[in-house]
Amino acid sequence: MTEHVPAQHLTDATVLVTLTGPDRSGVSTRLFEVLAGFDVEVVDVEQLVVRGRLVLSVLATEPDDLDALSAAVRQAGTALDLDVEIERGVGDNRPRRVGRSQVTLLGHPLRPAAMAALTARIKAAGGNIDRILRLARYPVTALRLEVSGADPDQLQSDLAEAAFEHRLDLAVEERGILRHAQRLVVMDVDSTLIQGEVIEMLAEHAGCSVEVAAVTEAAMRGEVDFEESLRTRVAQLEGVPAQALDAVYEGLVYTPGARTMIRTLKRLGYRFALVSGGFTQIIERIAEDLGIDYHAANELEIVDGRLTGAIVGNVVDRAGKADALRSFAADARIGLKNTVAVGDGANDLDMLAAAGLGIAFNAKPLVRDQARTSLNSPYLDSIVYLLGITREEVEAADAGDLD
């Protein structure tokens, strides 16, 4: 039998008590001690501190003697050097409307004009901002807005133009119980997880780096077929000693924030996968180094200690990346809505579209325009803000590891 717990009647009289002023220890304790002297129930509490200024609001059922409660609260406020507002009303907070979204925005810097433009678009879409929380102050300013009353898909579309105009990174996710579930993060490697392109690094050993780089750029812009371009580039590597792979791996540089992002999300039980148009001989070693759960890439053929200029098996192309994401999600028993995909090239577009949250990271214009979410910060750990994690939480967790 399901237990039914009755909600407060919406017509019950309530009183809203708000204290504002300099923050100090013990304010909330003192307020609740005062309220404890009256026969009231606490309905809701909100507290915010900005630059040492406190705003503390308590919504409670109305007591038999409202004047006595008001006098007691004001006396406590005077002792604490706080301003007091007391407002009588009816019922709980206004019910939050359907269509609940989490809007995360990142700015470097974040200007008032940008906030004005975004909030105006939210209002025009029929949305109401229920709560705003700062997630990070550096290296970017990140805010999370909880919005109700607007369709999340429509909100994403409406806010994208304003975000682009004001050079903001923005993500809109539907708020629901699934946002608390375990997630799978699937990442591209070249120019996403690492700086630069592995195939261009190998091409330096073959003396054809300029030619290969030109084809790579065209492929990432979507101007040429990826598989055709890959086979063309790999063919130019014929004769390169296999030891060049070791040299390339040793010279790899991770994108700033990569280790922080992976370390932070793994603490929360997230799974990780690498899906790359690059090569298994490199990807396997990266996966081992970072503790990655799954990986898929192309295998270079090696005969007698040298690259043959050919690829073994099928090419992991644009469609192959999306297929790999679905396969890894199924193996991890994680629904597609709880997958996150991160990439920068045209061959990542199907993967970004298949994921619950597809993020174009410092992407080519074609990819940035088609992806639902674009992140132009140079720091890969900015992704944790899009998932609702604050900078303070990341630093506190890291500090705990040192204890």
Q: Rg for the chain (alpha carbons), in Å? A: 27
Q: CA-to-CA distance for 268 and 256, rounded, in angstroms? A: 21
145 torsion bin: left (phi>0), alpha (psi -120 to 50), beta (else):
beta
Helix or strand holding residue 174 (H, E): strand 169-174
101-180 and 13-90 share a CATH fold: yes
Q: Is 39 a catalytic residue?
A: no
Q: How far is CA 370 from CA 160, 276, 355, in A?
A: 11, 20, 14
Which tens digit of pLDDT belongs to each residue from 43-59? 888 888 888 999 999 99
Instruction: Note down pLDDT in tens along the chain; length 403 residues.
Output: 334 434 444 558 899 999 999 999 899 999 999 999 999 999 888 888 888 999 999 999 999 999 999 999 999 999 999 999 999 987 665 555 556 888 999 998 889 899 999 999 999 999 988 888 889 988 889 999 999 888 888 888 889 888 888 989 988 887 765 566 679 999 999 999 999 999 999 988 888 888 888 888 888 788 888 888 899 999 989 999 999 999 999 999 999 999 999 999 999 999 999 999 999 999 999 999 999 999 999 999 999 999 999 999 999 999 999 999 999 999 999 999 999 999 999 999 999 999 999 999 999 888 888 888 889 888 999 999 988 888 888 988 888 765 4
Assign domain 13-90 one CATH number from 3.40.50.2000, 3.30.70.260, 3.30.300.30, 3.40.50.1000: 3.30.70.260
Active-site position among 188, 344, 348, 381: 188
Q: How far apart are CA 293 and CA 182, in angstroms?
A: 14
Strands 169-174 and 101-107: what pairing? antiparallel
pLDDT digits (tens, 9 = 90+) for 122-137: 999 999 888 888 899 8
The CATH number for 185-371, chosen from 3.40.50.1820, 3.40.50.720, 3.40.50.1000, 3.40.50.300, is 3.40.50.1000
Q: Where are the domains of the chain?
A: 13-90, 101-180, 185-371
- E-assigned strands of 226-372? 271-279, 294-303, 306-312, 339-343, 357-361
289 as an active site residue: the answer is no
Could you tell me the pTM of the whole model?
A: 0.78
Q: Which of 190, 317, 344, 350 is catalytic?
A: 190
Neighbours of 81 (CB within 10 A): 9
List the alpha helices (DSSP H) in 98-236.
Answer: 112-124, 152-165, 198-206, 209-220, 226-235
Q: Which CATH architecture has domain 101-180?
A: 2-Layer Sandwich (3.30)
Amino acid 260 reads T
